Structure 1
Amino acid sequence: MGRFQTDVEVSLKGRANVVTDADLASERLILDYVSEEYPDFGILSEESEPVAGTSPYTWVVDPIDGTRNFAEGIPHFCIVVAISDGDQVVCGVTYDPVRDEMFAAQRGRGATLNGEPMQVSDREDIDEAVLGFDLGYDFGQAKHLLELAADVWPRVQGYRLMGAGALGLAYAACGRIDLYFHHSLSAWDIASGVLLAREAGGAVLDRATLEDATLFSPGLIVSNPSLVKQFLALTEGSTWRSM
């Protein structure tokens, strides 16, 4: 937070995909700490090369999710730290430092927001739902996502595009938005969010297979089972679903 709304060094990793020196500093702080505490764990972190461990567990880290927001002074970004066992997340946190909100989950033990139990939306009719999505950096798929959103728009209350996929998943997990979907996310974007939503009673599907999502599912559909079923019916046959 000491770096937020100050002059940060911004570099491009790809078209519209930025990294700042604050991302790198945050990552170094996190990785130094977890490596000292658990030196045998592997590491999968956005701004570093993967590190193989001797343990079955891997730290999965996004030092700042929503970096574009952070760089532009928009107060909507977070930090993700999770632990996976193979392709399954066993515990994870998404921390929003602006609002001092800690979304946390452990497999089989539920999900919490600042220590209080949370659950996905209990809305049962998609006509009453607010949906969230983000566009990512796959511009071909983003075009088809916008076409899908236009087709679905008359049946929902509204959309929210907030520019931080990990917070989008956390907001779906705690019921602030009713359903979240995306087509192009990395493991560090979704690591905690998959578990948060599942432990909060949600269905978390891989967009391509419609099976339960794993750490390496690039596209997700997340909500309560009823809204997921209705969303799938509404979007059946869409180009975005078939890509």
Structure 2
Amino acid sequence: MDTERNGAIAPEHTIKSAVENIARQAGEIALDYFRSRSRVLVEQKGHLDLVTKVDREIEEFLTVRLRKEFPNDGIYGEEGGDIPGDSGRIWVIDPIDGTFNYVRGSENWAISIGLYENSQPVFGVIYAPVRDLMLSGGEAIETELNGKPLPNLPPFEPSLASVGIGLHPSIATEDCLEVLRYISDELRISFRCCGSATISLLEVAMGHTDGYLSLGDSTWDVMAALPILKNLGLSHTIDWSNHTDLQTKLRFACGNEDFLVSVRPLLASVGGNVVCKDI
């Protein structure tokens, strides 16, 4: 990963430090609103899909800071931000992943900043302010949680396994039911649905779950987490070479190879890696 800062190649540790600092500052802004959320203005963006004044403010903050730190890079944000760059790199940001949780007072939300280069996620920072968890890593940058390296994750053991799931409201009911049936009847493992892809993937990194299965997540939901998890020996089923449009919904799984083998028949039956434009 060759990332420029003010026109020059920046050392990887400088990139990591700079983006973590930006994420932490954004988290402090979001946390201030969270503690007084009765005053937060909430609008309905879609069925069970909320956007707040805070989402837009955090995205604007992240955009300004990233543009200052990496002026040649593009920026793509969930709330509509799309700033072109000339470096070939794009910072893909989700200002608050888990907005529904945020406005209801749950701790399951996070700020996600991922770097997209050569049609691949290459680096990411996730900050969960309520839990004070900072997760980062990527190409040539060791995965760390709050500054401490994370070990590779243990093998997939079905008798002890748990999987996180994300099912977007736009997904057909029969596909959602098939996911639940397959996990319960075929794999016979437990599952969790916390309402935030970023938090679900953070829990995979921490070893709380063994993998993540999603129908309908967006690119900004996963851009930061996937390169972080790659360093821990995990992979995913997304073929990024066919998904260059960042305005997409993804159907995929993430975990170690044994887990991916176990869920590939399910993904085949529900259109895994079939991508449709956001509506």
TM-score when scaled to structure 1? 0.88
Is 1:146 aligned to 2:184, yes or no? no
Matched-pair contact (CA < 8 Å) for 1:123–1:129 = no
Matched-pair contact (CA < 8 Å) for 1:119–1:201 = no
Residues 107-156 of structure 1: CA deviation (Å, up to 9, x unaligned): 1433121122224641333232101101113231x541222212321433
Give, as a single letter, the amino acid of the residue that structure 1 aligns with 2:161: A
Higher mean C-alpha deviation, range 107-116 or range 27-36:
107-116
Give, in angstroms, the shift of residue 68 of structure 1: 0.5
How far apart, CA to CA, are the structure 2 residues paired with 1:92 and 1:66? 17
Give, in angstroms, the shift of residue 229 of structure 1: 1.3
1:232 aligned to which of 264, 267, 278: 264
Give, as a single letter, the amino acid of the residue that structure 2 aligns with 1:128: L
Give, as a single letter, the amino acid of the residue that structure 1 aligns with 2:163: L
Residue 55 of structure 1: aligned partner: 87
Matched-pair contact (CA < 8 Å) for 1:205–1:212 = no
Identity %: 26
Residue 122 of structure 2: aligned partner: 90
Give, in angstroms, the shift of residue 93 of structure 1: 0.5
Where does structure 1 differ by over 4 angstroms across 4 or more consecutive aligned residues? 209-217, 240-243
Corresponding residue pairs, total: 239
Give, as a single letter, the amino acid of the residue that structure 1 aligns with 2:168: G
How far apart, CA to CA, are the structure 1 residues paired with 2:240 and 2:159? 22
Is 1:180 aligned to 2:212, yes or no? yes
1:104 aligned to which of 131, 136, 154: 136
Stretches of structure 1 that go unaligned for 5 or more consecutive residues are: none
C-alpha RMSD of the superposition:
2.5
Matched-pair contact (CA < 8 Å) for 2:162–2:211 = yes
Matched-pair contact (CA < 8 Å) for 2:183–2:191 = no
Give, as a single letter, the amino acid of the residue that structure 2 aligns with 1:193: A
Matched-pair contact (CA < 8 Å) for 1:87–1:214 = yes
Stretches of structure 2 that go unaligned for 5 or more consecutive residues are: 1-30, 275-279
Give, in angstroms, the shift of residue 232 of structure 1: 2.5
Is 1:2 aligned to 2:32, yes or no? yes
Cα 1:110/1:205, change in 2 over 3 Å: farther
Is 1:36 aligned to 2:72, yes or no? no
Q: Say which SS state the counterpart of residue 47 (structure 1) adopts.
A: coil
TM-score when scaled to structure 2? 0.77
Residue 78 of structure 2: aligned partner: 46
